[in-house]
Amino acid sequence: MTLEKIQEIGMMMISKIGLAKSNYVESLSESREGNFERAKQLIQEADLLKIEAHTEHFGLIQLEASGNQLPFSLILMHAEDQLLTCEVFHKIALEHITLYTRIKKLEDVIIKD
């Protein structure tokens, strides 16, 4: 595989991961506002984007594991870093939905009484 092709895959990964991270961040705002269904929808959309990027990355890993030496690409390295960061955003987004749901339930009880 050529360096140009690896860079193309890296740029595609960066694009998909960037969109996914944006959705995860937007889900934080939606959950804070009590829009839990919208927050979950954003996470699902982000998950699909992340899977697409991960699939491309795994294809490169399979190539190298089968004995094909791939050229180094700083763009791909950046994409891999962004993929790891995206995982953190995913976990934080899920945790926020859980926390804000609990806060909302507690507020409903307190305000009722």
Residue 113 in marked binding region: no
CA-to-CA distance for 95 and 99, rounded, in angstroms? 6
Q: Is 73 within 8 Å of 56 (Cβ atoms)?
A: no
Catalytic entry in 54, 78, 90, 96:
78
Q: Is 60 within 8 Å of 44 (Cβ atoms)?
A: no
* Cα 103 to Cα 12, 100, 109, 110, distances in angstroms: 38, 5, 10, 10
Q: Is 78 designated active site?
A: yes
Could you tell me which residues are annotated as the binding site? 81
Just list the catalytic residues: 78
Could you tell me which residues are annotated as the binding site for Mg(2+)? 81
